[in-house]
Amino acid sequence: MSYLESEDRKPIQEPKPEDFGLTNESVKKFHELEMRNGAPSNIEGVYALALFAALGIAGLSRDAVIAVFCLLAWGVFALIFSKSKTIFEYRLKTIPNSYLRFKDADREYSSAMYELKKEQEKIKIETKRIEQIERRKTFEYWISVDPYKFESEMAVLFEQNGFTASVTKGSGDGGIDIELKIGTKRGVVQCKRQKTKASPGVVRDLYGTMVAGKYDFAFAVCPAGFSDQTFQFVRGKKIGLIGLKRIIDMAKQEGQLDFLKV
């Protein structure tokens, strides 16, 4: 069950440093120390090198006491640098458990927020998909849909009704807007997104394309409908005419549609 579906879900709360006895400054300091793996910061390195160089130069002093003291100090620093890995590991051990608990809580919070965001995005996409399905069931949608989108939307409806549909590229398609397959049969679709009824010339060209391409069937789609002469022309031919009402029937998918049988 997802977080949003859970009835007893608790609000996701972002952990705060003060809840763990920390401050924003201490969290930042410990985080930087972790990122450096215990190594000194740039400013610490500059100070150490400056002191190391100063002791080396002071070791050249004519005063024997000063020279010996500085050389001994220089040697101590050299020993410290040779054991730097141990020192770095020690510095990491000084990071308090409260910071580690805060870091774990912050990681869990980030992970929960990421999953929540993914879930919300999934719901958003699914909501849009359902809304689009419902829009396809209305006359208003098909009357107003963009002519270029009309072809891809019709391809979706053919897919929903058992066909494999592929929208052609547009240019050089020989009057074919969509290619269909169902079983072993191949077909073509021509879409006419116009305000007037499709004339016989539309289906006459489609019939020629169907015969020339050796397709088994064809469909002409026009929301405005078809003239009486167009219906007469397709009589006895494997060409189906799909007007606005039939488009809505395809969108509703209320059982097998006789006019789609090929």
**How far is it, in rounded angstroms, from Cα 100 to Cα 56?**
40
Q: Which secondary-structure segment (H or E) carries 181?
A: strand 178-182
CA terminus-to-terminus distance, the chain: 43
Q: Interior CA angle at 43 toward 37 and 49, to 5°?
A: 95
Pairwise pLDDT comparison (89 vs 110), residue with the higher score:
110
pTM of the model: 0.61
* CATH 3.40.1350.10 boundaries in the chain: 147-260
Neighbouring residues of 130: CB distance < 8 A, sequence distance ≥ 6? none
**How far is it, in rounded angstroms, from Cα 92 to Cα 228?**
87
Residue 128 has pLDDT above 80, yes or no: yes
H helices present in the chain, as ranges: 24-35, 42-58, 64-82, 84-93, 97-135, 139-144, 147-160, 200-212, 228-234, 244-252
Pairwise pLDDT comparison (34 vs 237), residue with the higher score:
237
DSSP state of 11: P
**Cβ-contact 241, 220 below 8 angstroms:** yes
Tally Cβ neighbours within 10 Å of residue 237. 14
pLDDT in tens, 38-85: 555 556 555 566 666 766 666 666 677 777 776 677 677 666 666 556
CA torsion, points 68, 70, 74, 76, in degrees to nearest 10? 70
**Cβ-contact 157, 250 below 8 angstroms:** yes
The answer regarding whether domain 147-260 maps to CATH 3.40.50.300 reads no
Portion of the chain with pLDDT greater than 70, in percent: 77
| Beta-strand pair 178-182/164-167 | antiparallel
Q: Residue 61: what pLDDT?
A: 63
Q: Which secondary-structure segment (H or E) carries 213?
A: none
* Cα Rg of the chain, angstroms: 38
